[in-house]
Amino acid sequence: MVLDALILQIKLLLQDDMGVTVNNVQSQRGVTSKLSMKSYTSMIGTGGKLSLLIIISFDQSMMDKMVEIFMEGEEIDPQEELEIKNSVAGEMINTIIGLSLPSFPGRGKGVTITPPITINDASSISKHKNSTIATAEIHTDFGNFSISIIDSENSTSQEK
């Protein structure tokens, strides 16, 4: 349920607001025990009534396109490039979760959200004990990115 809400909002945000066509979405639930990270990654935790870790990870070309859109073609100082890319990744996950929240279980009521954290030094993230991973790979003409959910041991699989 949560992954489906995130995918829907990603499609709407990219296609309607950014003019980026989503060519394909491949999703899987509970198949993997480890997520491989791409070049630029941010994550947000949710708590309260829904305990999840939500991760967005962009390949280089997709991040370049997102920066171009966010910066509206403005030149970027090379010394600020990494900071801007991290900011864009954080803003993307914040926006997607914010738009998706009303579609979460209980319409998102009682769900708390942490600020985004950049984790570009990680090459992978592993699940813990009985938690599960649901992930979707989004393919566009400009590159790919993934959105993933790691649920806590206390969440039910229907909530993802």
Count: domains in the chain: 1
* pLDDT at site 148: 92
Q: How far apart are the first and last CA of the chain?
A: 5
- AA identity, residue 102: P
pLDDT, tens only, 56-106: 999 999 999 999 999 997 888 999 999 999 999 999 999 999 999 998 888
Q: How far is CA 54 from CA 42, 80, 133, 160, in A?
A: 8, 26, 10, 11
pLDDT, tens only, 1-55: 899 999 999 999 999 999 999 999 998 877 666 777 788 999 999 998 888 999 9
Tell me the residue range of the domain where 75 lies.
Answer: 2-53+62-159
pLDDT, tens only, 117-154: 988 766 767 666 777 888 999 999 999 999 999 887 54
Instruction: Give the tokens for residue 73.
Output: 């073609």
Instruction: Give the tokens for residue 85.
Output: 């890319």
* pLDDT at site 158: 38
For residue 73, the domain's CATH number is: 3.40.1550.10
* pLDDT at site 128: 66
Pairing of strands 40-48, 52-58: antiparallel
Average pLDDT of the chain is 86
Rounded to 5 degrees, φ, ψ at 33 are -110, 0
